[in-house]
Amino acid sequence: MLVIAAPGQGAQTPGFLVPWLELPGFADRLTAWSELAGCDLIKAGTVADADQIRDTAVAQPLLVAAAIAAAEALAGQHVPLKGLSAMVAGHSVGELAAGAIAGVISPEDAMRLVRVRADGMAAAAAATATGMTALLGGKGPEVLAALDAHGLTPANINAAGQIVAAGTLEQLAALAADPPAGARLRPLSVAGAFHTSHMAPAVEALVAAAAQVPVSDPVLPLLSNRDGQAVDSGADWLERIVAQVSSPVRWDSCMAEMAARGATALIELPPAGTLAGLARRALPGIQRVSLIKPDDLEAARALLAEAADDPQAADRTQADHPGAAEHTDHPGDPGPRPRPESDRGE
Which residues are catalytic, by number?
Answer: 92, 195
Nearest to 122 by CA among 190, 68, 47: 190
Q: Which residues contact 65 (CB under 8 A, 6 or more apart)?
A: 29, 30, 33, 37, 41, 111
Question: Using alpha carbons only, what angle is made at residue 283 by residues 278 and 286, rounded to the nearest 5 degrees?
Answer: 105
What single-letter DSSP state applies at residue 22? G
Q: Which residues contact 236 (CB under 8 A, 6 or more apart)?
A: none
* Cα–Cα distance measured from residue 77 to residue 69, given in angstroms and rounded to the nearest whole number: 10
Q: With contact defined as beta carbons under 8 Å apart, do 251 and 158 qualify?
A: yes
What single-letter DSSP state applies at residue 230? E
* Cα–Cα distance measured from residue 301 to residue 194, given in angstroms and rounded to the nearest whole number: 34
Sheet holding 265-268, edge to edge: 230-231, 222-223, 86-90, 2-6, 265-268, 287-290
Strands (E), 102-174: 130-137, 153-159, 162-168
Mind giving me the DSSP string for 253-318? HHHHHHHHTT--EEEEPSS-SHHHHHHHHHSTT-EEEE-SSGGGHHHHHHHHHHTBSSHHHHHHHH
